């Protein structure tokens, strides 16, 4: 009988998702429930030598599609190439997930509801072009939790397009996400900066851990179907503290660590905050009533509690998006007119 690992244990408590586009992780440790990605993950994955053909194929396809609806006049060829790259990389994970693959909207549209909605529609169209017949329900669009982003989520969910409110750091963002019907939220336990700045440590991570628990209890209390999917994790300890979240998305290094460590039941008494914080106070929904009626009020409430992390995350993802654009521009130069 095989020894039970920490990954096995985690799968008894939460739906385990992979926070990677590395196909070898799916083959070795899958299947996962969902696969999450973003511009940074796409940027680093597409630069692997074995994925060079995807850049070329994406540039070739963009050169053709850029003349057709819904792409013509909506964006440049490099921008479309970048969107195709992200879509192609994500679609490979349909074979290693039982539910959905998540594709992140362009962070440069984070403050535009109209552009975010159009971006989501393009991704859905690209999925059908690249993988005809794929159920729309297998695709989820990740959208930064700004006022404009949540307004976009509200429209898209009514259209039947699944959304995840990402880069989420505060209860007001969580409550608003549930109110507009997001399928998921991704509370960031750590500031995104921890993954890009060596030696940086987020000393407010305890707040992020607690937010995951409180948000989930809040959704259940209000009868919202929104699922909590903690993200931006940096250690096995953080993951084990969140065993019991609806979903949990885990980067490859930590998936490997969980799979390599035997599970000892006696060592996990009162490890999960979902077991410990049973009496945690859940906010009154009245505290967040009509918060999306006033963009300035919503933005001020977020900024008062997020330690600047939302803007920081959008800026970092925008830099990664720019990197994808530069790779796309270079690839397009090699494509025959």
CA dihedral defined by 216, 238, 320, 165, rounded to 10 degrees?
0
Long-range contacts of 76-79 (CB under 8 A, 24+ apart): 77/328, 77/332, 78/325, 78/328, 78/329, 78/332, 79/106, 79/325, 79/328
DSSP 159-186: TT-EEEEEEE-SHHHHHHHHHHT-SEEE
pLDDT digits (tens, 9 = 90+) for 252-281: 999 999 999 999 887 776 789 999 999 999
For the annotated catalytic residues, the residue numbers are 142
- Share above pLDDT 90 across residues of the chain, in percent, rounded to a whole number: 92
Q: CA 325 to CA 128: how far, in whole Å? A: 23
CA dihedral defined by 223, 180, 105, 66, rounded to 10 degrees?
130
Considering the chain, what is the average pLDDT of its residues? 96
Q: CA 227 to CA 160: how far, in whole Å? A: 16
pLDDT digits (tens, 9 = 90+) for 155-190: 999 999 999 999 999 999 999 999 999 999 999 999
Backbone angles phi, psi at 39, to 5 degrees: -65, -35
pLDDT digits (tens, 9 = 90+) for 91-111: 999 999 999 999 999 999 999
Q: pLDDT band for 336, please (50, 70, 90 cuts).
A: low
**pLDDT value at residue 3:** 79
The enclosing H or E element of 220 equals helix 205-222
Q: Where are the domains of the chain?
A: 6-333
- Cβ neighbors of 18 (< 8 A, separation 6 or more) are 25, 26, 29, 30, 32, 34, 35, 36, 93, 96, 97, 249, 250, 252, 255
Which has the minimum average pLDDT: 29-38, 236-245, 264-273? 264-273
pLDDT of 251 strictly over 90: yes
pLDDT digits (tens, 9 = 90+) for 308-326: 999 999 999 999 999 999 9
**pLDDT value at residue 337:** 63
C-alpha dist (Å) from residue 153 to 3, 17, 157, 245, 271:
42, 21, 6, 22, 34
pLDDT digits (tens, 9 = 90+) for 121-154: 999 999 999 999 999 999 999 999 999 999 999 9
Q: CA 20 to CA 129: how far, in whole Å? A: 23
Rg (CA), the chain: 20
- What are the structure tokens assigned to 269, written together? 């008494």
Are the beta carbons of 87 and 123 closer than 8 angstroms?
A: yes
- At the topology level, CATH places domain 6-333 in TIM Barrel (3.20.20)
Are the beta carbons of 153 and 177 closer than 8 angstroms?
A: yes
């Amino acid at each position: 009988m095989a020894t039970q690992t920490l990954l096995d244990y985690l799968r008894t408590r939460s739906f385990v998702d992979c926070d990677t586009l590395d196909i070898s992780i799916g083959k070795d440790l899958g299947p996962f429930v969902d696969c999450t990605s973003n511009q940074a993950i796409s940027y680093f994955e597409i630069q692997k030598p074995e994925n060079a053909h995807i850049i070329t194929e994406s540039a070739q396809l963009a050169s053709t599609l850029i003349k057709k609806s819904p792409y013509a006049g909506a964006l440049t060829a490099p921008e479309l190439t970048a969107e195709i790259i992200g879509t192609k990389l994500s679609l490979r994970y349909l074979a290693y997930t039982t539910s959905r693959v998540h594709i992140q909207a362009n962070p440069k549209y984070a403050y535009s509801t109209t552009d975010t909605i159009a971006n989501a529609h393009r991704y859905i169209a690209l999925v059908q072009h690249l993988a005809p017949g794929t159920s729309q329900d297998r695709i989820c669009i990740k959208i930064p939790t700004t006022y404009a982003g949540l307004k976009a989520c509200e429209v898209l969910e009514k259209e039947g397009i699944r959304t995840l409110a990402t880069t989420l750091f505060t209860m007001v963002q969580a409550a608003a996400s549930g109110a507009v019907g997001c399928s998921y939220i991704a509370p960031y336990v750590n500031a995104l900066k921890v993954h890009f700045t060596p030696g940086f440590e987020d000393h407010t991570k305890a707040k992020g851990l607690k937010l995951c628990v409180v948000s989930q209890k809040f959704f259940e209390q209000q009868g919202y179907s929104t699922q909590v999917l903690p993200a931006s994790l940096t250690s096995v300890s953080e993951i084990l503290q969140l065993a019991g979240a609806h979903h949990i998305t885990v980067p490859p290094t930590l998936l490997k660590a969980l799979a390599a460590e035997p599970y000892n039941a006696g060592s996990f008494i009162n490890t999960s905050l979902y077991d410990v914080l049973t009496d945690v106070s859940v906010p009154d929904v009245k505290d967040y009533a009509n918060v999306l009626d006033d963009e300035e009020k919503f933005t001020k409430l977020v900024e008062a509690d997020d330690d600047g992390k939302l803007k920081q995350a959008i800026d970092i993802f925008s830099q990664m998006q720019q990197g994808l654009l530069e790779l796309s521009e270079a690839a397009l130069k090699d494509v025959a007119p």
